[in-house]
């Protein structure tokens, strides 16, 4: 299940991220607030999960169509896939708290990336969150996550908006659809 959320962050690392205004900082939810909401969500079931990811949209305004097509193909090759993952009993017992902590630890990598949830709402099986990151070179990224999470499946649409004067076109939008479902027990 972690892969469902963390995979787009890996893609984000390829694209980079920038600086926040004081008003954006004040709206952030603390790690404790997010973890409190996550702890109310149903914990995932242990087992073997199949996760599919599909790049739905990719745009970089202001660059030539041929270059955009090549970039889209590169991102699609890295993101359009189906993977399987064994979620152990230990991981399942931790629920989604570990995933949230790992996202927070991105800020501790020494790479100059600072991420925080400016919004995180989990009610029932619905999840709506905004993860905002800043980084070196005046880069900025916001990832909106909207979908459903259940003990044996998830379905999430993630919209990532990045901007930087160092990127071709100076901004980029990427929309990904990910779905994960339990397909059985982990192999012995």
User: Tokens in use for 151?
Assistant: 């003990």
For 41-59, the pLDDT digits (tens) are 778 899 999 999 999 998 8
- Please indicate, yes or no, whether the overall pTM of this predicted structure exceeds 0.75: no
Domains of the chain, residue spans: 2-184
Which one, of 44, 46, 45, lies nearest residue 186 by Cα?
Answer: 46
Overall average pLDDT of the 88-96 stretch: 85
Please give the residue that has the higher pLDDT: either 19 or 139.
Answer: 139
Q: Is 79 helix (H, G, I), strand (E, B) or coil?
A: helix
Chain-centroid distance of CA 146 in Å reads 10
Residue carrying structure tokens 């991105």: 106
155-185 pLDDT, tens digit per residue, is 999 999 988 877 666 888 999 999 999 999 9
Scored b (16 or more CB within 10 A) or e, 92-131 reads: eeebbbebbeebbebbeeeeebbbbbbbbebeeeebebbb
pLDDT tens for 1-33 read 344 434 433 333 333 333 333 334 446 777 778
What does the pLDDT read at residue 97?
74
């Amino acid at each position: 299940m972690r892969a469902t959320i963390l995979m787009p962050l890996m893609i984000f690392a390829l694209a980079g991220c920038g600086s926040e205004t004081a008003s954006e900082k004040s709206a952030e939810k603390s790690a404790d607030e997010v973890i409190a909401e996550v702890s109310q969500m149903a914990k995932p079931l242990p087992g073997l999960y199949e996760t599919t990811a599909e790049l739905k949209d990719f745009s970089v305004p202001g660059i030539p169509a041929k270059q955009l097509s090549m970039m889209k193909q590169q991102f699609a090759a890295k993101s359009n896939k189906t993977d399987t993952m064994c979620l152990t009993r230990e991981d399942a017992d931790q629920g989604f708290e570990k995933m949230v902590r790992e996202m927070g630890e991105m800020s501790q990598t020494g790479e100059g990336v600072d991420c925080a949830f400016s919004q995180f709402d989990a009610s029932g099986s619905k999840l709506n969150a905004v993860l905002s990151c800043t980084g070196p070179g005046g880069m900025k990224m916001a990832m909106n996550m909207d979908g459903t999470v259940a003990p044996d499946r998830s379905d999430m649409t993630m919209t990532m908006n990045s901007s930087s004067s160092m990127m071709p076109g100076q901004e980029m939008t990427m929309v990904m659809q990910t779905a994960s479902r339990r397909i059985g027990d982990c192999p012995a």
